[in-house]
Amino acid sequence: MRSHVPFETPKDRLWLPFMGNFYDRFAQPIGWAVFRLVIGLTLVMESLPKIANPMGQIGFLEAIGFHPGWFWSPLLAGAQFLGGVMIALGLLTRPFALANAVTLLVTVWYHVTFPYDGGPFLTEAGIQVLKAGGDALVTPAGMKRLADGGMAFLHLVQLKAELSSLFWAGGCALFAAFGGGPFSVDRCLLKKEF
């Protein structure tokens, strides 16, 4: 008999067997639904600038090899937005999660292949302005981060871009593999999963 809980643990393997029903019927389904909402809504938030300007990524996409950019730019914007909504709802979760997982793995590849370390963030003139009176313009912590021209800041941005894309890709891959979970539209209303 197959369970609807993605990661069911038999009660005889639990340190506290009496907690089995709590885990299986409450904690895991709620945790799965919350994680699905986090992944889906974050994808929606990240897609809003792309939806507002669906042709805005044409040059970027063509520069990394996706031709024609006029086709890929709105397609990727729509896939990320619609995919985020569908993942959050748990509706046709697997195909939308798979599409976004692939897209996000390409994003991870891009961030690793083209890191933000092409040189200082600030020009030499900007560094001189900071040295001359930057404490009036920037907080002490900001001065420390920008003292090297912003390279330390760019490394933080690079790490955030890589880790965020990897997190979203992993989350989407989990939903592509296991579906939307017990509290998804797929299971609750449609009674079927893709």
Query: Has residue 1 been placed in a domain?
Result: no
Mean pLDDT of 76-104: 96
What pLDDT score was predicted for residue 164? 93
Number of domains within the chain: 1
Query: Has residue 8 been placed in a domain?
Result: no
Under the banding of pLDDT at 50, 70 and 90, the label for residue 101 is very high
Cα 42 to Cα 16, 62, 83, 164, 189, distances in angstroms: 35, 26, 11, 10, 24
Mean pLDDT of 20-47: 92
Query: Has residue 104 been placed in a domain?
Result: yes
φ, ψ of residue 122 in degrees (nearest 5):
-100, 150
Query: Has residue 6 been placed in a domain?
Result: no
Does 1 have pLDDT greater than 50? Answer: no
The domain of 181 spans: 18-117+168-190
CB-count burial class (<10 Å; 0-12, 13-18, 19+) for 12:
exposed
In 10 A of CB 122, how many CB atoms? Answer: 18
What pLDDT score was predicted for residue 119? 66
Task: Identify the CA nearest to 182 among candidates 172, 173, 171, 193.
Answer: 193
Least confident interval from 4-8, 25-29, 71-75, 113-117:
4-8
In 10 A of CB 146, how many CB atoms? Answer: 21
Query: Has residue 78 been placed in a domain?
Result: yes
Query: Has residue 24 been placed in a domain?
Result: yes
Does 3 have pLDDT greater than 70? Answer: no
Q: Quickly list H helices, the chain.
A: 20-22, 28-52, 58-63, 69-89, 93-113, 124-133, 140-146, 151-178, 185
Q: Which residues contact 67 (CB under 8 A, 6 or more apart)?
A: none
Q: Return mean pLDDT, the chain.
A: 86
Query: Has residue 139 been placed in a domain?
Result: no
Q: Which long-range contacts (CB under 8 A, 24 or more apart) does 5-11 make?
A: 5/29, 5/182, 6/32, 6/178, 6/179, 6/181
